[in-house]
Amino acid sequence: MEIDFGEYDLVLDGDKWPGVPLWFSSLTQFSYAVCSTRNLESTVSENFVISLPDIDGGLAAIALGSLAAEIERIEKTANFDEISIHQLKVGMRVSIESGIAGQQKVTGQVKTISLDDKTPKIEIGSRWIAAKFIQKIFLIPSEAGNPQIFERKSEMTKDSSSLLTWLTSSSVPIHRALLDIRSTSKIIEDEFEWEFSSQRNSNPLRVKDAIHPIATRQPGSGWSIVLNSSESEELAWLKLKSELSAAELDADVSILTSGAAILAQIENTNSKIIFSIFGRDDRQLLATELAIKQKFEYSNPLSRKINSEILCSGIELISFEVPINV
Amino acid sequence: MSRLKRLNSLYKDADLPIKHLAIEDGLLRTFSREVRKLNSEMREWLDVSPDWDDALSNLRRADWRLRNQPAEFTITHPAKVYLADGLVKLNGLYSNLGDEIRKICRSIIENGNAIIRSEESTLNSNLLKLIYESKNQGAKNIVVILRQEDLVVPFIKLLEVNLILDVVVDTGFGALHKKYPMDKLIVVGNILDYSPSIFTSLFSEHGTTLLGFSWVPEQDSIGTALSNLALKPIQIEVVHSVTSDTKDAVDVSHFLEPSIEIASRQLRSIAKNVYTQMDKSNPDEEVFPCRAYLLAGNNVVFLPTKEGAIDSIDMQADFGSRVQRMPIGSIVIGSVILLRVGKSDSDSIFEMANAIGGQAAQEYRNLQMAWKNALKLRISTLGSQLVIKQLKDLGIKNPWIGEWKSFKNNIRPESDDYFKKILTYLSIQPTETMNAMNALRRLHLVAAMRLRKMLKEKFENANLQTIHEKGFLIVDLGETPEIAKLGAFVCLSIGNDIFEVPETAVKQLQKVVN
């Protein structure tokens, strides 16, 4: 997919830029390209360190691109198929609509199937449901995490004219972290407020609207990103604790921006793809170089072909696989 | 200029080469080169003779300021003050030495006196000319960068005398942080005297011009620190102006700001004294190769030469980003570093993680203890050799049992996959323990962030003026008694010698012994 912001213009501090600046769209396209070609079988982490002359906006651009790739991948691969009661097997994860009008939704793993009983019933999680009340059964793919409520969204048509329209209208029912974003600065809050305006649409779209942080959506109905910012660390932690289990917190894609805690951050990330975005501060650069050399030995340069030419001049890119034995 | 326009121009103008303008100045060139010659001839003597060290230090400071300090060229110009001082000292020193050195010294004295008498500075005239030219070319927001704080105010005065009131003057750090709107950047001096970030992060419509002198060698390009690793490296070309000097192989380091080199000679004897007093009685303790750092308030600290980072305060940074992690290798004279006395970082983080997690954390710790104890028990019954072999047979490539002692409680398997295998091997149900360890890892992350935040808050709100005045500032972390006091110290000098320092003395404050 070619990333296209369509008719949208970037607005910053009330100042409008016709279209989206080349540096922003090329970073979005780059992260999309990296994430959308990832090998799902591979357990090796791939790290991309991107250094920018000035860090503003880089995080938002990378977040939009990589999220687009993740959602596209899930849409293509994950099935939310409706199955019949006779197709049920123990261990399946399903969402069941029961009650006379299908008003009650139960989601969980099938523990027991007793259809030959006097009153045929099945056990989902810790609840028994009588077979006669079951209206619909949906299979939940392993991608979905553990939604408390699961709602099948209607198929939406992908509007290829704009990445933003597509992202904001997307409703893949995933309840686990898709992106893990960490920063020790206030950049997160700032960049997520950046706006895109369009003549056709009177309401401007914010980056925030396109990436749906977890708290803004109902449990079970949306996909999520995990934010880790030192400025609001307690808030972030509480949210995570209440809504996602530890296992659901590990996203496949991480984006780190920080000068301060970079060594610790790279070390503490388990994601398959990690983008680290840094300014050109000498200390950050030295810390980055040190981290790469010490932790990853820079022994396995990336073999997958990633076209870095799409990046603007002024962006420096280092990429490497993390060797198994670090 | 709006923020959006500034961001766009950062990327748009990043391709422009840097112009290097070399000033020709016969008198200063002869003086500067003779000082370099004398310095290399007398290098061996500097360590043993404080008089020679003093004389040459002053001459080198004078040489550097003549090339780097644009200011009114009166008798109070710091270059002239250093020069006069250096010439007086040199006068009484050279008479007993060989012909060649006597010749050099006489030349320095003759040319030095001519410079003191002179009222014209080629640096001043060329810099002003460059500013006028840039204005004529349409530059409206000119920023001039000088190497250090004390050069800024005297130059602003010179500009005022010349009725130039619309030019911003700052240091490199200042310019990087304050993000001035700019369409022309002028940098005075040598690239290597500055942080490369200035040349790889600040771009402007009319480009960057570097003002140097014809006999001082200059780089042909600038990359960032990551250039050796990068797939898409940044290389900015430096276009040199035509100069009459033929390029002979001259070591550029002689022409750079000499304070570090001078101070490190003085640090040498202090560091040796402190090292002698250090407790090195434990033969089992690991030693690390360290360099000595002289800190304000009569302190010395030994920091590892090879790796590591340390908290520091960026005195130029905005509120909210003053406290930064800094690689030890990039500490320079004037850096402000943070040092703890008493408990280490990891102890504080451990306790804080427990406090945040409450009851849940206690449960996680119990699970943690359970699997670690199970492993310990397995090792003590079967022996570590056998356990390692059995783990390897399970496909775990790198069990760390051999280093069990040194890892203490920080032990962590490399991947979830390995961890699962280890737990199954220890007959522990993996899911609960793994989830708990993941949660614990996040607690530690949050605790580390919170600790940093507390530190930040302390120093964000502290009056940094004290650091300027006294060279250090000590705060304590308030209501949390288990966390030690913390001090910010200005680094005064960095030693060249390598000491073998016991682990417990590394990164610990040491008092200077006389």
Q: How confident is the model at residue B172 (pLDDT cuts 50, 70, 90)?
A: confident
Q: How high is the pLDDT of residue B225? A: 73
Enumerate the residues of chain B whose CB falls inside 8 A of the CB of residue A10: 4
pLDDT digits (tens, 9 = 90+) for A4-15: 888 889 988 888
- pLDDT of A240 > 60? The answer is no
Q: How high is the pLDDT of residue A323? A: 62
Residues B140 and B111 in one domain: no
Cβ <8 Å between A288 and B226: yes
**Which of B225, B320, B439 lies nearest to residue A246, judging by beta carbons?**
B439
Contacts of B69 (CB under 8 A, 6+ apart): B77, B78, B79, B123, B146, B151, B154, B155
Q: How high is the pLDDT of residue B49? A: 76
Final residue of a structural domain among B94, B120, B146: B120
- Spell A260-274 as b/e; 16+ CB within 10 A means b: bbbbbbbebbbbbbb
- Going through chain A in order, the beta strands assigned E by DSSP cover 9-12, 15-17, 46-51, 82-83, 93-98, 104-114, 121-124, 127-130, 134-139, 177-183, 195-197, 205-206, 224-229, 253-257, 273-278, 316-321
Structural domain contains residue B18: yes
Residues B211 and B63 in one domain: no
Q: Which of A283, A293, A303, A318 to mutate to probe the B interface, most B CBs <10 Å? A: A283
Percent of chain B past pLDDT 90, that is, above it, reads: 33
Nearest CA in chain A to B444: A268
HEC secondary structure over B432-485:
HHHHHHHHHHHHHHHHHHHHHHHHHHHHHHCCCHHHHHHCEEEECCCCCCCCCC
Distance from CA of B362 to the nearest CA of A (A): 16
Rounded to whole angstroms, the Cα distance separating B164 from B134 reads: 13
A222 versus B285: the higher-pLDDT residue is: B285
Cβ <8 Å between A270 and B415: yes
- pLDDT of A301 > 70? The answer is no
Residues in chain B, total: 514
Enumerate the residues of chain A whose CB falls inside 8 A of the CB of residue B6: 54
Q: How high is the pLDDT of residue B127? A: 97
B33, HSE (Cβ side, Cα atoms, 13 Å): 15
Enumerate the residues of chain B whose CB falls inside 8 A of the CB of residue A49: 226
Max avg pLDDT among B206-210, B296-300, B448-452, B487-491: B206-210
Cβ <8 Å between A54 and B7: yes
Residues B190 and B269 in one domain: no
Paired tokens of A271: 């994601």
- Spell B427-455 as b/e; 16+ CB within 10 A means b: ebebeebbbbbbbbbbbbbbbbbbbbbbb
Window from A179-193, B73-87, B275-289, B362-376 with minimum mean pLDDT: A179-193
Q: How high is the pLDDT of residue B404? A: 46
Distance from CA of B120 to the nearest CA of A (A): 37
Span between the terminal Cα atoms of chain A, in Å: 34
In this structure, the dihedral spanned by the alpha carbons of residues B155, B161, B162 and B165, taken in order and rounded to 10 degrees, is 70
Residues B138 and B12 in one domain: yes
Residues B438 and B502 in one domain: no
Distance from CA of A82 to the nearest CA of B (A): 29
Q: How high is the pLDDT of residue B348? A: 72
Cβ <8 Å between B226 and A326: no
Q: How high is the pLDDT of residue B135? A: 97
Enumerate the residues of chain B whose CB falls inside 8 A of the CB of residue A302: 231
What's A7's DSSP letter?
A: T
Enumerate the residues of chain B whose CB falls inside 8 A of the CB of residue A319: 231
Q: For residue B169, what is the domain's CATH number?
A: 3.40.50
Cβ <8 Å between A314 and B226: no
Rounded to whole angstroms, the Cα distance separating A113 from A122 reads: 5
Residues B355 and B433 in one domain: yes
The count of domains in chain B is 4
Enumerate the residues of chain B whose CB falls inside 8 A of the CB of residue A234: 446
Amino acid at A178: L
- pLDDT of B476 > 90? The answer is no
**Among A80, A57, A254, A59, which Cα is nearest to A155's?**
A80
Q: How high is the pLDDT of residue B56? A: 92
Nearest CA in chain B to A280: B197
**Which of A53, A228, A312 lies nearest to residue B200, judging by beta carbons?**
A53
Rounded to whole angstroms, the Cα distance separating A251 from A253 reads: 5
**Which of B307, B414, B442 lies nearest to residue A249, judging by beta carbons?**
B442
Structural domain contains residue B468: no
**Which of B195, B230, B417 lies nearest to residue A317, judging by beta carbons?**
B230
B467 versus B292: the higher-pLDDT residue is: B292
Nearest CA in chain B to A45: B415
Q: How high is the pLDDT of residue A145? A: 67
Q: How confident is the model at residue B482 (pLDDT cuts 50, 70, 90)?
A: low
Percent of chain A past pLDDT 90, that is, above it, reads: 7
Q: Order the strands of the B142-146 sheet from edge to edge.
A: B168-171, B142-146, B184-188, B208-213, B18-23, B235-240, B221-223
Enumerate the residues of chain A whose CB falls inside 8 A of the CB of residue B327: 283, 286-287, 290
Residues B448, A261 contacting (CB under 8 angstroms) = yes
Cβ <8 Å between B201 and A294: no
| Domains in chain A with CATH codes | 9-77+157-321 (no CATH), 82-139 (2.30.30)
- pLDDT of B54 > 70? The answer is yes
Distance from CA of B104 to the nearest CA of A (A): 39
Distance from CA of A102 to the nearest CA of B (A): 33
Q: How many helices (H) and strands (E) does chain B have?
A: 17, 15
Return the axis-axis angle of helices B122-136 and B50-68, rounded to nearest 10°. 30
**Which of A10, A270, A282 lies nearest to residue B225, judging by beta carbons?**
A282
Enumerate the residues of chain B whose CB falls inside 8 A of the CB of residue A282: 195-197, 225, 330
Paired tokens of B218: 């200059």
Q: How confident is the model at residue B452 (pLDDT cuts 50, 70, 90)?
A: low
Contacts of B153 (CB under 8 A, 6+ apart): none
A282 versus A14: the higher-pLDDT residue is: A14
Final residue of a structural domain among B242, B275, B306: B242
Cβ <8 Å between A237 and B446: yes
Window from A262-276, B371-385, B398-412 with minimum mean pLDDT: B398-412
Q: How confident is the model at residue A263 (pLDDT cuts 50, 70, 90)?
A: low
B389: Cα separation from own chain's centroid: 46
Structural domain contains residue B453: no
Cβ <8 Å between B231 and A17: no
pLDDT, averaged across chain A? 75
Strand partners, B474: B487
Cβ <8 Å between A325 and B230: no
Distance from CA of A79 to the nearest CA of B (A): 26
% helix, strand, coil for chain A, step of 5: 35, 25, 40
Cβ <8 Å between B11 and A51: no
Enumerate the residues of chain B whose CB falls inside 8 A of the CB of residue A190: none
**Which of A186, A309, A325 lies nearest to residue B398, judging by beta carbons?**
A325
Residues B76 and B183 in one domain: no
Average pLDDT over residues A239-251: 59
pTM over 0.90: no
Average pLDDT over residues A32-57: 84
Cβ <8 Å between A324 and B397: yes
Enumerate the residues of chain B whose CB falls inside 8 A of the CB of residue A250: 438
Cβ <8 Å between B232 and A316: yes
Enumerate the residues of chain B whose CB falls inside 8 A of the CB of residue A259: 321, 324-325
Structural domain contains residue B476: no
Residues B54 and B32 in one domain: yes
B482 versus B13: the higher-pLDDT residue is: B13
- pLDDT of B343 > 60? The answer is no
- pLDDT of B149 > 90? The answer is no
Q: How high is the pLDDT of residue A231? A: 47
Average pLDDT over residues A31-51: 84
Residues B152 and B71 in one domain: no
Residues in chain A, total: 326
A317 versus A221: the higher-pLDDT residue is: A317
pLDDT digits (tens, 9 = 90+) for B233-260: 888 999 988 665 655 667 778 888 887 7
Average pLDDT over residues B153-173: 94
Structural domain contains residue B392: yes
Distance from CA of B24 to the nearest CA of A (A): 32
Percent of chain B past pLDDT 70, that is, above it, reads: 89
Residues B95 and B128 in one domain: no
Nearest CA in chain B to A266: B445
- pLDDT of B403 > 60? The answer is no
Average pLDDT over residues A74-86: 81
A148 versus B207: the higher-pLDDT residue is: B207
Structural domain contains residue B62: yes
Residues B173 and B226 in one domain: yes
Distance from CA of B438 to the nearest CA of A (A): 6
Distance from CA of A294 to the nearest CA of B (A): 8
pLDDT, averaged across chain B? 84
Average pLDDT over residues B312-338: 78
Residues B318 and B294 in one domain: yes
Q: How high is the pLDDT of residue A62? A: 92
Contacts of B203 (CB under 8 A, 6+ apart): A53, A314, B9, B10, B12, B13, B14, B16
**For residue B113, what are the domain limits?**
26-120
B143: Cα separation from own chain's centroid: 24
Chain A with chain B: Cβ pairs closer than 8 A: 177
What's B5's DSSP letter?
A: H
Average pLDDT over residues A196-203: 83
**Which of B14, B227, B453 lies nearest to residue A314, judging by beta carbons?**
B14
Cβ <8 Å between B4 and A184: no
- pLDDT of A254 > 70? The answer is yes
Distance from CA of B447 to the nearest CA of A (A): 9
Q: How high is the pLDDT of residue B406? A: 38
Structural domain contains residue B498: yes
Final residue of a structural domain among B215, B242, B269: B242
Structural domain contains residue B228: yes
Q: How confident is the model at residue A152 (pLDDT cuts 50, 70, 90)?
A: low
